[in-house]
Amino acid sequence: MIRSLSLTIAATALAASPIAAQTPVTATFKGVQGTATLTPAPKGILIRIEASGLTPGWHGIHIHEKGDCSDAAFKAAGAHVHMATPAVHGLLNPQASDQGDLPNLYVGADGTVKADLFTSLVMLPALQDADGAAIVIHAKPDDYTTQPIGGAGDRVACAVVR
């Protein structure tokens, strides 16, 4: 009886929490085949990337401020999500204010990537505002310090988050 009661209390508490109320959001990439699934976590977002059609090696990946992947170069997605202007880029930069920074992705020799990334720099509801957000994969790796995008180069894939 006690075990049943404690499981009921735990399930009720979880269902009442703001994190449990949010369901994962899956965004489909343009430019490559694949998806980004964003799952709310108590102190950030877990982002699962599953994609193919990329060049092998390291690629920068960032969260961009607008949910717009309509142009071929994915420039309509705007800059990285940031909390200050001017935004300072870089996971290794002590002055960083760029909430869109994520660790690089490694793409295998077959052009595929499966990776889980976690960020504590932003929460899912903030990305689901009126203009949404985008997950953008770049052609080159991010060096985590160079302004404005870590030398990550062209945008090769874009997925709208709503």
**SS3 readout for 90-107:** CCCCCCCCECCECCCEEE
Residue 23 is classified by DSSP as: P
Q: Which domains does the chain have, with CATH numbers?
A: 22-161 (2.60.40.200)
Which 3 state secondary structure label does DSSP give 124? helix
What pTM was estimated for this model as a whole? 0.85
Give the integer Cα–Cα distance in Å for 98 and 36.
Answer: 20
Tokens representing 124? 């899912």
Burial class (CB in 10 A: 0-12, 13-18, 19+), 160: buried
Model confidence over 12-53: pLDDT tens digits? 344 444 444 579 999 999 999 999 999 999 999 999 999 999
